[in-house]
Amino acid sequence: MKFPNPLSPFPWLDDLLNRLLAPHLREEIMGDLHERYQRRTQRLGESNARQRYWRDALAYVRWSNIKRQSNPYPTTYTYSPTMIRNYFKIAFRTLTRHKLYTALNVAGLTFGITCFLIIGLYLFDELTFDQQHRNASRIYRVIEHKKTKTDDLTIAAVSYKLAEESKKSIPEIETTARMTSFGRDNLSNPETKDKFHLTINLADENFMKIFDFETIAGEKQTALKEPNSIVITEKIAQKLFNNTEVVGKILRFDFTEKPLKITAVIKNHPSNSSFDFESLLSESTFNDDAEFQQSNASDWSSHNYTVYALLKKSAQSQLVGTKINALVQANYKFETGTTVGYLLQPLTDMRLHSDHIATGSTNVGSGKGSILYIKIFGIVALFVLLIACINYMNLTTARATNRSKEIGVRKANGAFRSHLINQFLFESLLVTLLSFVLSIGFVNLLLPSFNAFTEKQLSLGFHSDYRIWLYTTIAVVLTGLISGSYPAFLLSRFSPLALLKTLKLQNQGDLSLRKGLVVFQFTISVVMIIGTIVLFRQIQYVSNKDLGFSKELLLVVDINSGDVRKNAQTIKNEISKIATVKNISVTTRVPGEWKNIPTIKIRPEGNTDEHSISYLLGVDEHFTNTFEVKLVNGRNFAGTDDSTSILLNETAASMLKIKEAAGQLVEIPERSMGGSYSPLRNGQTFRARVVGIVKDFHFQSLREKIAPMVLAYQNNPVHSIDYFTSRITGNDVPNTLAKINEALIKIDPAHLLEYHFLDEQLARFYADDHRRETMLIWAALATIFIACLGLFGLATYTAEQRVKEIGVRKVLGASVFSLTTLLSKDFLKLVLIANGIAFPLAWWATQQWLEEFAYHINVEWWVFVVAGASAMFIALLTISYQAIKAALMNPVKSLKTE
């Protein structure tokens, strides 16, 4: 109880005292205080009284006055076990009485939570990439940002000396580890001759120390210390030995005579690791290789190594980056015009924040994730859940009128507002919990197929990470609270008198909020439909776009050994004899390939301008027929002795300002495999004549614009051949493959056949898009479905509410059609408004996404029409069922009662 006293000299002091004093003493004490003050004012004057007031007030501050009186009677505590039991009982009764609405609510929430959980698991996996290492928070990858006059590159690879010296001279760096890959080779078990073709990875001894790769056998700390040591994964051990206890056994790589001793077997990389190496060779294996040692000794500028730095606990990565920069600048003089900067990228950012890194990360990880899509999916997941919550809110508030009697009686019997709030919240929590249990079942049902298509190993069970369960529980409780809060606070607010007298809730604001929520639901649904259509169309466009060459039925066979490379001509002849092979060409790289295509510096001879940059592909005279690339000008390669001729694509031709190919001389002094330019193999400038121009073709993903491309002859000094590509008829592919293999084995009996179909390979560029598309389609469907469930519920309810009105109208001669229109109109209006909001939103969002592609579709107007119309149509279907049912009902039935 608080007594405001306008005469009080210090209202705030009163306020303080009021709070401090025990409630049962407040009245007398405050009364005494004020009476004394009044009397003193009369006797001693105001200022004196005010002073005394202070002292009096303070005299009351003692424990006996502050201590609260204990209540001798038991109170009905809102959360007492009895009450909780009662909440559950009532909730259960209400839910079972209205089975249809309960089913709608549970279905909506189950769908929402299932979607949320699946997307959530996916996101969790993406966001926890590379966190399995104990020191993950202290490990950084060294990134180089290199800017030359012509190029601006971010590379996740640096030089040998940087790795070596930085750990010695920069105190913040505890140690560094490095890894490099070069080519692929056969790894074999000399005892059984079993072979496996894989990338050769070289790592220094620290590599196994700073990362926590789980070892099955062997000593991790010293695994890469000794020369000729090799660490292999469980998978390789199983393939070569059928056993994982293979430490101490010997393996061989074809490229070296040295026997390699297995020092450790590590577990296969978990699905949320960026590392995917299958074997690691100790760097010290090359200690006796003079050339290797020499090239490293002065190497401050190459991009040969992926370097990881383990920082000390308190070190700041930015500062260390600056120090590395200073260290390199002090030891190496870069060309004028070239600026180089070093950065440290946290290990845990490698997966999602590497979009800007051009090259050098090839020896780490298969796919890069994208933080943009993570965000999109996060938002989508939340929206789906939110829509499910809104469903619940809408249906519950709409049906509240039916419960006004119950609420009124409860209130009249002395229920506090908190009791009612709790009751509604318990109801929603019960529904959510039920949905949650159902969704766990659904998720486990769906995960196998979801895993198959995302290539992940997600699971939800007792063994799941505790954080998954923590977040899930929080999400579910929040869902329950959000769904229940609005009905709870709204319904408990009304006065019992009004409730019992009119048995109706008169609440306009409530209705418009409900409308707003329906609009919101449909806005999101329509945006997602449009997004999905655009995504789908873009992927269609990409896979059907004329690439400038024909990608179907192209069989690409890798050249995996020196012997095969030397005898390429013979093999070509052999293969071309096969009946099902129409054409065969040998090239250094294939269009749409996933490995680096080298770039070169090029300029017309005699020109002293800065060199231009172009990609280079070594091909033969059959390239144009095999790939069906059109020659627009000049001539094709003439034959084996035409090695100083080159062809240009149209972009390169226009870059070099060549209109007609007429043997113009160009010089190519340097090449780069990503990162830095170095002189050609023979150390000389490659001088070539431009003999022809080919039509532009897409040799990279459609995300990139067509770049200048030089087609040199197969035996060029820039890059050696690596692939046979045959155009096949498509009949009897296994037989064709067997024959090709025969031709190869004739030359090199040890050669392992590796092949792929180019169109499948190209599709990989867009595999991630395909996945996203599929996920988005499902999410969009779920959103629409849930929104429609909500609409269905609302329509059912409205029809129920207006049953008398419809009866009267029918009696007066209204047709079924006009009644259906009457009932549907209100809802369709909402969906229409939602369309109006969704269109600009969707337009903006899809435009944003399409920007990512250099070649993309335009978002056409019909997409919006289709999306809007389908939303309307689905909504109409949902509503009309109830509307028609209500309209068809016999008016006698509805008007008879009362």
Partner 1 sequence: MRRSDLGEFEEVVLLTVAVLAPNAYSVSIAEELEIETGQTVSTGAVHAALQRLEQKGYVTSQLGEATSERGGRRKRIFTVTALGGRILNDVRQVRNRLWDRIVPQVTLKWN
- From CA 768, how far away is CA 849, in angstroms rounded? 14
Helix (H/G/I), strand (E/B), else coil: 425: helix
* Residue with smaller CB distance to partner 1, 18 or 625: 18
* Residue with smaller CB distance to partner 1, 4 or 813: 4
- From CA 168, how far away is CA 162, in angstroms rounded? 10
* Residue with smaller CB distance to partner 1, 1 or 290: 1
CB of 68 to partner 1, least distance (A): 15
Helix (H/G/I), strand (E/B), else coil: 48: helix
β-pairing verdict for 645-649 and 709-713: antiparallel
- List all residues 6 or more positions away from 93 whose beta carbon is below 8 Å from its beta carbon: none
CA distances from 544 to 76, 343, 541, 701 (A): 71, 40, 5, 13
CB of 46 to partner 1, least distance (A): 14
* Residue with smaller CB distance to partner 1, 36 or 419: 36
Contact between residue 521 and residue 426 where contact means Cβ atoms under 8 Å apart: no
Contact between residue 266 and residue 214 where contact means Cβ atoms under 8 Å apart: yes
Least Cα distance to 130 among 265, 267, 275 occurs for: 275
CB of 800 to partner 1, least distance (A): 53
* Residue with smaller CB distance to partner 1, 28 or 191: 28
CB of 67 to partner 1, least distance (A): 11
* Residue with smaller CB distance to partner 1, 24 or 267: 24
* Residue with smaller CB distance to partner 1, 34 or 147: 34
CB of 71 to partner 1, least distance (A): 19
CA distances from 391 to 97, 395, 453, 480 (A): 19, 6, 31, 12
Label residue 668 exposed, middle or buried (CB < 10 Å: 0-12, 13-18, 19+).
buried
* Residue with smaller CB distance to partner 1, 6 or 74: 6
Least Cα distance to 707 among 366, 358, 340, 339 occurs for: 358
CB of 503 to partner 1, least distance (A): 40
CB of 105 to partner 1, least distance (A): 52
Contact between residue 712 and residue 617 where contact means Cβ atoms under 8 Å apart: yes
Helix (H/G/I), strand (E/B), else coil: 652: helix
CB of 9 to partner 1, least distance (A): 12
CB of 468 to partner 1, least distance (A): 58
CB of 34 to partner 1, least distance (A): 5
- From CA 845, how far away is CA 333, in angstroms rounded? 46
- From CA 853, how far away is CA 297, in angstroms rounded? 42
* Residue with smaller CB distance to partner 1, 26 or 269: 26
Q: Token digits for 697?
A: 């073709």
Helix (H/G/I), strand (E/B), else coil: 647: strand
Contact between residue 216 and residue 579 where contact means Cβ atoms under 8 Å apart: no
* Residue with smaller CB distance to partner 1, 29 or 371: 29
CB of 8 to partner 1, least distance (A): 8
Contact between residue 871 and residue 522 where contact means Cβ atoms under 8 Å apart: yes
Contact between residue 320 and residue 314 where contact means Cβ atoms under 8 Å apart: no
Residue type, 872: M
Contact between residue 699 and residue 592 where contact means Cβ atoms under 8 Å apart: yes
Q: Token digits for 660?
A: 């007609």
Question: Which residue's entry shows tokens 């009021």?
Answer: 18
CB of 70 to partner 1, least distance (A): 15
* Residue with smaller CB distance to partner 1, 35 or 610: 35
* Residue 97 backbone dihedrals phi, psi, to 5 degrees: -70, -40
Helix (H/G/I), strand (E/B), else coil: 587: strand
The answer to whether the Cα torsion of 464, 470, 475, 481 is positive or negative is positive
* Residue with smaller CB distance to partner 1, 64 or 413: 64
* Residue with smaller CB distance to partner 1, 32 or 465: 32
CB of 38 to partner 1, least distance (A): 4
Contact between residue 674 and residue 357 where contact means Cβ atoms under 8 Å apart: no
CB of 3 to partner 1, least distance (A): 5
**DSSP string computed for 671-687:** EESSS--EE-TTSS-EE
Contact between residue 244 and residue 229 where contact means Cβ atoms under 8 Å apart: no
CB of 49 to partner 1, least distance (A): 12
The CA R_g of the chain, rounded to the nearest whole Å, is 38
Q: Rounded to the nearest 10 degrees, how much is the dihedral formed by the CA atoms of 799, 804, 805, 810?
A: 100
* Residue with smaller CB distance to partner 1, 31 or 663: 31
CB of 73 to partner 1, least distance (A): 20
Helix (H/G/I), strand (E/B), else coil: 142: strand
Q: Token digits for 252?
A: 């061989």
Q: List residues binding partner 1 (CB under 8 A).
A: 3-5, 7-8, 27-36, 38-39, 52, 55-60, 62, 64-65
* Residue with smaller CB distance to partner 1, 39 or 825: 39
- From CA 206, how far away is CA 305, in angstroms rounded? 14
* Residue with smaller CB distance to partner 1, 60 or 541: 60
CB of 61 to partner 1, least distance (A): 8
* Residue with smaller CB distance to partner 1, 58 or 297: 58
- From CA 60, how far away is CA 504, in angstroms rounded? 51
Contact between residue 577 and residue 648 where contact means Cβ atoms under 8 Å apart: no
